[in-house]
A and B are shown apart, each in its own frame.
Chain A
Amino acid sequence: MAPPKTYRCEAIILGYSPLGEADLLVTMYAREQGKIRAVGKGARRSTSKLVGHLEPLTVVRMSMVNGRSMDIISQAEVVESFAALKEDLTAISKGLYLSELVDGFGSEDIANPPLFQLMIQTLRAVQADSASDMPLRAFEFHLLQVSGLMPELYHCVECRQELEPNAHRFSPNVGGTLCLECNPDDAHLRPLSLRALKVLRLFDRSSIAEACKLSIDDGLADELKSLLSTTVGYWLGKEIRSNSFLERLHKESLPEVYI
């Protein structure tokens, strides 16, 4: 059966690039369709009915028309604009980090509604508290989960023994946590403290909003950041470019004021 000529979708805009004289090539992640690249005809003109509706980090309800090579956006209506998030430089940079990861992990034509929902919930958490990195850590963990890459946290991935309440080791390459007795030849192997393991297990049974209530010290935050961003980068298979700007802002850590 031929696919429908037009369809509706609800999607979060991940980014766009200029196309031709006044068009935009928009990348979005749709609840029911997965990742979509579509053309916004004339969307760069200030009087276009699409202008303002296709900004990154915006949830949009759209009408689409199947095109020969790419779909065309015929109508767009903002559902959630995350306006407060977009007035905070740190929050924007965190939102763009989420966008890059969803773009990297999302597949075209394969729906993954939990991934769509995960991004929206995380953006809400970032908007509520842009200073906390906990939403990003919880997002990275759940991203692995909804992508079918959930690391093993309860048994050693080598000997399958239940993990004792001790420090262990972790490697994305073997799929999670290892006991101290098992020594596979693995360049990605790294230490995993008991406290970090407990936080990962907490992420496993909590929503993003619940995980964001957790308060941890800087040492544990650094360990989780290194472990989760390395694991996500391992599966992505390329550098996460928005990370360097995020790191830069973190180092500068100056008070921010919106114009």
Chain B
Amino acid sequence: MSSENIPGAAPSLSRLVQELNRLPGIGPKSAQRLAYYIIRLPDDEAYALADAVTSVKQNIVFCADCQNLTDASPCPICADPRRDRSILCVVEDPLDVLAMERTRSYRGLYHVLHGVISPINGIGPDQLRLKELFNRLAEPELTELVVATNPTLEGEATAMYIRRHQSREDLRITHLARGLPVGGSLEYSDETTLTRAFQGRQEL
């Protein structure tokens, strides 16, 4: 959307529409609907939204250990003495930490790469938090590294790069199981997924 005012709209409203239009997945029409919704909000709710945006930009930092986004470094997970420090789970982005925490089945630590190696998009190892990861692997209490990048071509390439470049021979390196999703269908599964699901079959 251009930086010009929207015909018939107040300049401040045009500005809000233009800023909302910058958000991913928000087109010009959606931006207009959201802007008019915000105008109709009670003052306290609109100011709370503005305050939340300001606050997140002022307060969010990278955790010095796991590189996740946090209000204070180290983040609550890294600072929690009840977490298992012998296992480290590598994920692509902060949303993956939220997904893993929802399972309540993992009690170890995380490391967030903030992306994956994507040669076509010009993203190489230096653009990710890999140096910080390799520094953490020297911690003697660490015994297992779980590489939980997405099972995509670029996710797998990133996992292979990590495997290739870590230097501890005594470190167990695993990745998450590949196979059929709950609610999925054999008929529509691709051959790689089915092959790996078959290889990972378990006793009933």
Give the residues from 208 to 248 in chain A that come closer than 8 angstroms, CB to CB, to chain B: 241-242, 244-246, 248
Contacting residue for B195 out of A47, A83, A103, CB 8 A: A83
B188 beta carbon closer than 8 Å to chain A: yes
Contacting residue for A93 out of B119, B175, B182, B183, CB 8 A: B119
A96 touches B163 (CB 8 A): no
Given A81-B190, A81-B191, A242 and B119 contact (CB-CB distance below 8 Å): yes
CA distance A252 to B124 in the complex (A): 14
A46 touches B181 (CB 8 A): yes
Contacting residue for B193 out of A52, A100, A257, CB 8 A: A52
Question: In the complex, which residues of chain A have a beta carbon less than 8 angstroms from the beta carbon of B190?
Answer: 51-53, 78, 81
- 0/1 string, A70-101, CB within 8 A of B gives 1: 00000000100101001111001100110110
- 0/1 string, B174-204, CB within 8 A of A gives 1: 1100000111110011111101000000000
- 0/1 string, A51-67, CB within 8 A of B gives 1: 11101110000000000
A89 touches B119 (CB 8 A): no
Contacting residue for A242 out of B120, B147, B163, CB 8 A: B120
- 0/1 string, A24-60, CB within 8 A of B gives 1: 0000000000000000000000110101110111000
A181 beta carbon closer than 8 Å to chain B: no
Question: In the complex, which residues of chain A have a beta carbon less than 8 angstroms from the beta carbon of B192?
Answer: 52, 55, 78, 81, 83, 86
B142 beta carbon closer than 8 Å to chain A: no
A15 touches B120 (CB 8 A): yes
CA distance A39 to B193 in the complex (A): 22
Question: In the complex, which residues of chain B have a beta carbon less than 8 angstroms from the beta carbon of A255?
Answer: 164
A104 to chain B, nearest CB (A): 10
Chain B residues within 8 Å of chain A by Cβ, number: 34
B45 to chain A, nearest CB (A): 24
A246 touches B175 (CB 8 A): no
A86 touches B124 (CB 8 A): no
B42 beta carbon closer than 8 Å to chain A: no
B156 touches A96 (CB 8 A): no
A49 touches B188 (CB 8 A): yes
Residue of chain A at shortest CB distance from B25: A20
24 A-B contact pairs sorted by A residue (CB < 8 Å)? A46-B184, A52-B189, A53-B190, A55-B153, A81-B191, A83-B192, A83-B195, A89-B157, A89-B161, A89-B164, A92-B153, A92-B160, A93-B119, A96-B119, A241-B119, A244-B124, A245-B119, A245-B124, A246-B119, A248-B124, A255-B164, A256-B164, A259-B159, A259-B174
Task: List 9 additional A-B contacts (Cβ < 8 Å) besides A81-B191, A83-B195, A92-B160.
Answer: A49-B185, A51-B181, A78-B191, A83-B192, A96-B120, A99-B120, A100-B119, A100-B120, A254-B164
State the A residues within 8 Å of B (CB). 15, 20-21, 46-47, 49, 51-53, 55-57, 78, 81, 83, 86-89, 92-93, 96-97, 99-100, 103, 241-242, 244-246, 248, 252, 254-259
